[in-house]
Amino acid sequence: MFWRNIIKSFLNVNTLSSVFLPRNAILQTLAGVHNYLTILSLKNSPEGYYRKMPENLKKISVDLRIIGIVHSPYKTTKDAPFQGRNEVSEIEINKDYIDGLKDIEGFSHLHIFYWLHKSENYSLIVNTPWDTKPHGLFTTRSPHRANPIGYSVVELIEKKGNILKVKWLDAIEGTPVIDIKPYIKKLDSKPIAISGWAENANL
Ligand X SMILES: C[S@@+](CC[C@H](N)C(=O)[O-])C[C@H]1O[C@@H](n2cnc3c(N)ncnc32)[C@H](O)[C@@H]1O
Q: What is the binding site for ligand X (CB under 6 A)? A: 77, 80-83, 116-119, 141, 143, 150-152, 170-172, 175
CA distance 155 to 85: 11
Q: Which is nearer to ligand X, 26 or 84 (CB)?
A: 84
Smallest distance, Å, CB 170 to ligand X? 4
CA distance 179 to 5: 46
Smallest distance, Å, CB 127 to ligand X? 12
Q: Which is nearer to ligand X, 4 or 141 (CB)?
A: 141
Burial class (CB in 10 A: 0-12, 13-18, 19+), 72: buried
Q: Which is nearer to ligand X, 166 or 172 (CB)?
A: 172
Q: Which distant-in-sequence residues (6+ apart) come within 8 Å of 121 by Cβ?
A: 144
Q: Which is nearer to ligand X, 156 or 171 (CB)?
A: 171
Contact 78, 129 (CB under 8 A): no
Q: Which distant-in-sequence residues (6+ apart) come within 8 Å of 39 by Cβ?
A: 49, 50, 51, 52
Smallest distance, Å, CB 148 to ligand X? 7
Smallest distance, Å, CB 145 to ligand X? 8
DSSP 138: G
Q: Which is nearer to ligand X, 45 or 76 (CB)?
A: 76
CA distance 154 to 116: 17
Smallest distance, Å, CB 16 to ligand X? 54
